[in-house]
Amino acid sequence: MGEVRIGVYICHCGTNIAGVVDVEEVRKYVEGLPGVVLAKTYPYMCSDPGQNLIKEDIEKGLIDRVVVAACSPRLHEPTFRRVLREAGLNPYLLEMANIREQCSWVHMREPKKATEKAKDIIRMTVAKARLLSPLQPVEVPARQEVLVIGGGIAGITAALDLANAGFRVYLVERAPSIGGHMAQLDKTFPTMDCSQCILTPRMVDVARHPNVQLFTNSEVVGVEGFAGNFKVKVLKKPYYVDLDKCTGCGLCVDFCPIEVPSEFDVGMAPRKAIYIPFPQAIPHVAVIDPEHCLYFMKKKCMVCEEVCQELAAGAIDFSQQPEEVELDVGTIIVATGYDLYDPTQDEEYGYGRYEDVITALQMERLLSASGPTRGEIVRPSDKEKPKKVAYIQCVGSRSLRPGHASYCSRVCCMYAIKQALQLKEKYPDIDVCIFYIDLRTFGRGYEEFYWRAQEHGVRFIRGKVAEIWRSRNGRLVVRAEDTLTGRVLEEEFDMVVLSAGLRPSKGTEELAALLKIPLGPDGFFLEAHPKLRPVDTVVDGIFVCGTATGPKDIVDTVAQAKAAASSAMALLSRGKIVIEPFVAAVDEDRCRGCGRCEEVCEFGAVAVEEKDGRLVAHVNEALCKGCGACSVRCPTGAIKVRNFRPEQIRAMVSSVAG
């Protein structure tokens, strides 16, 4: 190896680094390190003039390796790689020395020691950089199909954008119909659009789109592969109804003798054991719930089959079996939404004990024009019109009590205000009172919406409700402190609505395990970067959007869904995917085919194969994550991760400890 010529570029990052680390002292020190031919500092290395500094030195032929001492490589490594490429140098002859996140920020009170540590970090990086080799990025072909998991507004939006761009989309929904929670809502804040009116056309569009294939009543049960080439297993659960024959006439439903609480109406109305999920359901077909159907429980009844055979399409099929389908896709979009917090555990609110204490989603079904009461608000206990309704905010949210969530669920302030306004519009005499801790109306037009509710006379009481009980006259008594006057109040209401928070949807953990993507401490899917990569995950080719990454309203959900669709397009549109070359590589002369690398590889990326009459390890570069487990295990040093070779790590260690 000829003598390398390393240029070190030390960034001030304004005062982020230079306010703590003495960059000039570091520069002088670095100049004397072996291999370093020049060292420069600049206020913002990532700025245009900063980048040009590097570019010019490369173009003049002064340097052939670059070390940038600045922020985390997660932030600007791609920026500086581009600089190298533009200057005609192999972009992998770059190393980043993180003297910001790992030095100046964490040692801001110890500038002397921080300066010494910055020297150490750069010395190590230079030691590694001396042994860098030029690499070529790996390219693999990318399939042009996309899997979207979840058929709510997020999944529907992402699927439509992708389908319109010409990609084939498989939309998988666990429930028998697409639509998600938005289909259950009556109106949406702050515009008061009818939820169904703006959702239903999108549902129809996605179902009829020639590029979209729906998998309803289906779940993803297996995922293998990598960006551009995922293999997905989808389990189609039986409807026990032939989807091609069923016309959705509903005759079977009329005759079915079994009634259970409706999931769609959140228990505010019953449904039958054979049912059409809701009037706008897609597909608009009947589905049998085998957990309650008499045929599946006791092998009798079958009246639905009889009426369908004689009077309708003959679509009932008790013999249907679950079916597994394999799909090949290039990218995956996770849009699995949320579940509403179940407030039963909060004994003090009496949910589940008092009929007239309901959740806001149940109120939404009462408010809905197509709901079980046709939009009439009635007390569940006696079907009377309520004169006074209380809302209790932050139920299960913003609390460290066991079973509660520490985060703010973001939508409850607005939906409570929206429902309060709707109640006032329907019944001008009604008294609506919202008990809150803080009101958060941060979106465009949201504060004005809150203003409207105040103008309509909705009462806002700042105090967390401590207890609800039923008085002798059957009304509910709410006790809270009005913290603004410091008085404890007890007031009777006809109904109490709990503004329950949002939780990760059931099955989130299992899906995260299948996709090998992490969850945050709140249990929602974790994005790769909250600001810069909000719909990416740490796994290339898997994107996530909507409430799957945490509570958000429809406005933000749709924006994210469109972002996820466009990110998926950006990845697939070139027809091939570029993979970082930091993967394991085998020196076939040294390899003796013992297979230990294959044993330790978690990703199934290494396999021992026969080649020219002997066994050698082979790396699937698209599967390899560059973790280095094989390299550690290899007895002959034949398998190494590119540019993370043992000799480089040794050089780094001995430069600080040697």
Partner 1 sequence: MSSLILDMREADPKFKYRVKAIPGAEKLTVCFQCGACTPDCPVAKRVDIFRPRRIVRLALFGFKKRLFSDNLLWLCLGCFGCTEMCPQGVKPTELIEALREIGAEEGILPPSIKDMMKALLSTGRIHRITKARERTRTKMGLPALEEPNMEELEIVFASSGLAELVSGKEEK
Q: Is 345 in the site for partner 1 (CB under 8 A)?
A: no
Task: Map residues 90-119 to x or -, x wherever contact with partner 1 holds by CB under 8 A.
Answer: ------------------------------
Q: Which is nearer to partner 1, 10 or 394 (CB)?
A: 394
Q: Which residues contact 279 (CB under 8 A, 6 or more apart)?
A: 370
Near partner 1 by CB under 8 A, which window of 108-116, 351-359, 464-472, 623-631? Answer: 464-472
d(CA 624, CA 226): 9
Return the bridge partners of 609, or none.
616
Task: Map residues 386-425 to x or -, x wherever contact with partner 1 holds by CB under 8 A.
Answer: --------x---xxxx--x---------------------
Q: Least separation, in Å, of the C-beta of 128 and partner 1?
A: 43
CB-based burial, 23-42: b 16+ in 10 Å, e otherwise: beebbebbeebebbbebbbb
Among 467, 509, 510, 599, binds partner 1 (CB under 8 A): 467
Q: How many CB atoms lie within 10 A of CB 487?
A: 10
Q: Which is nearer to partner 1, 47 or 483 (CB)?
A: 483
Q: Which is nearer to partner 1, 204 or 489 (CB)?
A: 489
d(CA 76, CA 396): 40
H runs (alpha helix) in 63-148? 73-86, 111-129
Near partner 1 by CB under 8 A, which window of 66-74, 186-194, 309-317, 460-468? Answer: 460-468
d(CA 504, CA 368): 25
Q: Least separation, in Å, of the C-beta of 653 and partner 1?
A: 41
Nearest to 629 by CA among 593, 651, 604: 604
222 close to 205: Cβ distance less than 8 angstroms: no
What ranges make up the beta strands (E) of 521-601? 542-544, 576-579, 584-586
Q: Give the position of tokens 């922020």.
A: 71
Q: Least separation, in Å, of the C-beta of 447 and partner 1?
A: 20
Q: Which residues contact 573 (CB under 8 A, 6 or more apart)?
A: none
Q: Which is nearer to partner 1, 484 or 513 (CB)?
A: 484
- State how far the alpha carbon of 316 is from the alpha carbons of 272, 309, 452, in Å: 15, 8, 51
Task: Map residues 347-376 to x or -, x wherever contact with partner 1 holds by CB under 8 A.
Answer: -x----------------------------
Q: Least separation, in Å, of the C-beta of 351 and partner 1?
A: 17
Q: Least separation, in Å, of the C-beta of 522 and partner 1?
A: 16
- Region of 164 on the Ramachandran plot (φ > 0 left; ψ -120 to 50 alpha; else beta): alpha
Q: Which is nearer to partner 1, 187 or 398 (CB)?
A: 398
Q: Which is nearer to partner 1, 233 or 404 (CB)?
A: 404
Nearest to 407 by CA among 504, 331, 327: 504
Q: Is 343 in the site for partner 1 (CB under 8 A)?
A: no
Q: Least separation, in Å, of the C-beta of 503 and partner 1?
A: 16
Q: Least separation, in Å, of the C-beta of 433 and partner 1?
A: 15
422-451 residues near partner 1, rule: CB under 8 A: 437-438
Q: Least separation, in Å, of the C-beta of 517 and partner 1?
A: 30
Number of residues that bind partner 1 (CB under 8 A): 22
Q: Which is nearer to partner 1, 437 or 514 (CB)?
A: 437
Q: Least separation, in Å, of the C-beta of 398 and partner 1?
A: 6
| Contacts by 376-381, CB closer than 8 A, 24 or more apart | 377/423, 377/426, 377/427, 377/495, 379/355, 379/494, 379/495, 380/268, 380/355, 380/356, 381/354, 381/355, 381/356, 381/474
Q: Which is nearer to partner 1, 348 or 599 (CB)?
A: 348
Q: Least separation, in Å, of the C-beta of 394 and partner 1?
A: 8
The amino acid at residue 407 is: Y
Q: Least separation, in Å, of the C-beta of 407 and partner 1?
A: 12
Q: Is 658 in the site for partner 1 (CB under 8 A)?
A: no
Among 312, 465, 561, 624, binds partner 1 (CB under 8 A): 465
Among 464, 516, 590, 592, binds partner 1 (CB under 8 A): 464
Q: Which is nearer to partner 1, 292 or 479 (CB)?
A: 479
Q: Least separation, in Å, of the C-beta of 466 and partner 1?
A: 4
119-138 residues near partner 1, rule: CB under 8 A: none
470-529 residues near partner 1, rule: CB under 8 A: 479-483, 486, 488
Cis peptide before 283 (omega within 30 of 0): yes
Q: Which is nearer to partner 1, 393 or 549 (CB)?
A: 393
Task: Map residues 587-606 to x or -, x wherever contact with partner 1 holds by CB under 8 A.
Answer: --------------------
Q: Least separation, in Å, of the C-beta of 465 and partner 1?
A: 8
Q: Least separation, in Å, of the C-beta of 124 and partner 1?
A: 39
479 close to 466: Cβ distance less than 8 angstroms: yes
Near partner 1 by CB under 8 A, which window of 47-55, 229-237, 440-448, 465-473? Answer: 465-473
Q: Which is nearer to partner 1, 263 or 492 (CB)?
A: 492
Q: How many residues does the chain have?
A: 658
| Contacts by 288-297, CB closer than 8 A, 24 or more apart | 288/239, 288/240, 288/241, 288/316, 288/318, 289/260, 290/240, 292/258, 292/260, 293/240, 293/258, 294/257, 294/258
Q: Least separation, in Å, of the C-beta of 638 and partner 1?
A: 55
Q: How many CB atoms lie within 10 A of CB 486?
A: 8
Near partner 1 by CB under 8 A, which window of 2-10, 326-334, 458-466, 509-517? Answer: 458-466
d(CA 492, CA 444): 35
Q: Which residues contact 323 (CB under 8 A, 6 or more apart)?
A: 235, 236, 238
User: At residue 489, what are phi and psi to the nearest 5 degrees?
Assistant: -120, 150
Strand, coil or helix: 171: strand
Q: Is 292 in the site for partner 1 (CB under 8 A)?
A: no
Q: How many CB atoms lie within 10 A of CB 413?
A: 25
Among 40, 55, 462, 562, binds partner 1 (CB under 8 A): 462
The amino acid at residue 404 is: H
| Contacts by 195-199, CB closer than 8 A, 24 or more apart | 196/280, 196/368, 196/370, 199/153, 199/156, 199/280
Residues that bind partner 1 (CB under 8 A): 348, 394, 398-401, 404, 437-438, 462-467, 479-483, 486, 488
